[in-house]
Structure 1
């Protein structure tokens, strides 16, 4: 049977064995060498399934534990698979899971199987992107830059998993796609927070802003260019103001550019977190992300950014504070009314 270990990416301590189907509780303490008071002594509960090749992660602590960029949530349980990262608390203290064969219990032929599987995987990854494409009907770009309905290419869908992986499923669904080219796909947000709310996603797998490097600059510029074209062809483009940007700490895995109108007229906008995620510095403009990559080769998220979601409700136009979401929405109607009279919002 394969053996499982939890490995600190920072090398803070020796790998922690995770016996098959046995629960282990970890957090702040001598075993992890974590002294951060925001990390509970019982932050996570881990349980390895060595036969199926993953571990279950259950968040016990109050502060967020992440798998890649997705927050697990207190009391929730999600799988951690090889290649993914577990952040013990507040996107800090990264770990990865490692499965190794018990050499003493397998033959030399069996030892070679993982190498063969890896070779087959490497060969598949070296296939041209075109070999992984299937045809679907959605919007395409013509030679003059217009977006028109026609045949487009879509990558084969991955199996559905945890809710945080939902974007990877939606971007493969022809019914969700409104535009596609060889680099990106555009889908409508399932729960739009405004009259117009699109997501621009790259076909290449990039988990979050933290995974971006300088070589991704051209891709992000293309994503912004596609977002700009979506706005240009919007029937209310002359009346509504739009922003293009990224959530600093997104709840959904796979990087995505929000293209969102600033009317915020939507029944899906229900709470303070929704509002502040788009109207505070939690929402980072696309151009600022590109500038950081060009200058530093990486994107930096300021410490304490998560706390921005707890700020009071303030109108993004006049900054007037509102007590509740219903009162805020009623207040926004006055701005929207001005917009319909010809004033830009």
Structure 2
């Protein structure tokens, strides 16, 4: 997967590596070589998202930290992307962020990653149970059995009715042929109708019907679900060349809470209509971190009114935002963004 580096523009010290989803505090001190006392020792808190290619910047110090010309403000948080500058304090000490490719497996991040090695988990590494061939045969468990053929009926909207999905999802959780990973809190399964080359679902064993019933006591569970999803991405053989997003549908058709882990090339025969596309490329798709933040700050998840209308929006490329008239034209256009 990509590796994140914070690079000093005045070349005063070596680039600082920021590990995926690991919080790092920087300011005045030997690591940055900054001696300016207007810069706090704990001036900024940084957290890299290597999959999505940005850093979250939170100002901790009293004096201003800037991202380009925008003052972050003490206690506030903004996003730093490649091409932007982070000024550590008072428009001084500029930094840029760079993402490079690394073929070696990243080390696990935090205690949640260790939970993936619990004694009662499946004996095999989840990544070893996933193989990719053509875009019609994704994520099958390598048990020697031939992959099921996807037919137009298998990818149809009728197969995705609420009742079918609700019952099918619960059955899939218990099906060893669908399971890619499991521990005592969650299970990861292949999405039966993947909307991209890689499309997995992380589900809790605990019966939770929807986002609406989540409360603050579920925070640890959702953080663990996100950690498991991140680990699946790290172990994906194409993680170094694909972007992934982790999130929830605002109004899911299934009755059991599930976290989508989906690659962003959207190369799948099951992505067939506007509803499919907009459910993953508009605000209808709520980032995992945003759901956790809502629970931490408000004790519940609030879904804005009118979310269903987002599914009717025009087809727009999620990379360049260019509008396309049909799904086939959109898919053809997407090829230009795949390296």
TM-score by length of 1: 0.52
Residue 124 of structure 1: aligned partner: none
Distance 1:150 1:325, change over 3 A: closer
Residue 124 of structure 2: aligned partner: 149
Distance 1:148 1:260, change over 3 A: farther
Structure of higher RCO (CA pairs closer than 8 Å, 6+ residues apart): 2
Q: Is 1:318 matched with 2:293?
A: no
- Residue pair 1:141, 1:148 contacting (<8 A) in 2 also: no
Q: Is 1:257 matched with 2:232?
A: no
Residue 73 of structure 1: aligned partner: none
Give the length in aligned residue pairs.
Answer: 188
Does the residue aligned with 1:165 lie in a helix, a strand or coil? helix
Runs of 4+ with >4 A deviation: none
Q: How does 1:147-226 map to 2 (within 5 A)?
A: 149=124, 162-163=163-164, 164-226=166-228
Q: Which runs of 5+ in 1 are unaligned?
A: 1-139, 152-160, 340-345
Question: How far, CA to CA, are the matches of 1:308 and 1:256 in structure 2?
Answer: 20
- Residue pair 1:142, 1:148 contacting (<8 A) in 2 also: no
- Residue pair 1:141, 1:147 contacting (<8 A) in 2 also: no
Question: How far, CA to CA, are the matches of 2:283 and 2:176 in structure 1?
Answer: 33
Residue 138 of structure 2: aligned partner: none
Distance 1:162 1:295, change over 3 A: same
- Residue pair 2:118, 2:183 contacting (<8 A) in 1 also: no
Question: How far, CA to CA, are the matches of 1:312 and 1:192 in structure 2?
Answer: 22
Q: Say which of 277, 283, 286 aligns to 2:285.
A: 283
Question: How far, CA to CA, are the matches of 2:287 and 2:324 in structure 1?
Answer: 25
Cα deviation digits, residues 260-287 of structure 1 (max 9, x gap): 0000000000000000000000000000
Does the residue aligned with 1:162 lie in a helix, a strand or coil? helix
Residue 294 of structure 2: aligned partner: 292
Question: How far, CA to CA, are the matches of 2:275 and 2:116 in structure 1?
Answer: 35
Distance 1:301 1:198, change over 3 A: same
Question: How far, CA to CA, are the matches of 1:172 and 1:264 in structure 2?
Answer: 27
Residue 335 of structure 2: aligned partner: 333
Shift of residue 174 of structure 1? 0.7
- Residue pair 2:191, 2:201 contacting (<8 A) in 1 also: yes
Distance 1:150 1:302, change over 3 A: closer
Question: How far, CA to CA, are the matches of 2:174 and 2:253 in structure 1?
Answer: 19
Question: How far, CA to CA, are the matches of 1:193 and 1:150 in structure 2?
Answer: 24
Shift of residue 142 of structure 1? 2.8
Distance 1:240 1:286, change over 3 A: same
Residue 248 of structure 1: aligned partner: 250
Question: How far, CA to CA, are the matches of 2:220 and 2:169 in structure 1?
Answer: 22
- Residue pair 1:246, 1:258 contacting (<8 A) in 2 also: yes
Question: How far, CA to CA, are the matches of 1:148 and 1:236 in structure 2?
Answer: 23
**Higher Cα Rg: structure 1 or 2?**
1
Cα deviation digits, residues 194-222 of structure 1 (max 9, x gap): 00000000000000100100000000000
Question: How far, CA to CA, are the matches of 2:303 and 2:255 in structure 1?
Answer: 16
Does the residue aligned with 1:198 lie in a helix, a strand or coil? strand
Residue 274 of structure 1: aligned partner: 276
Residue 237 of structure 1: aligned partner: 239
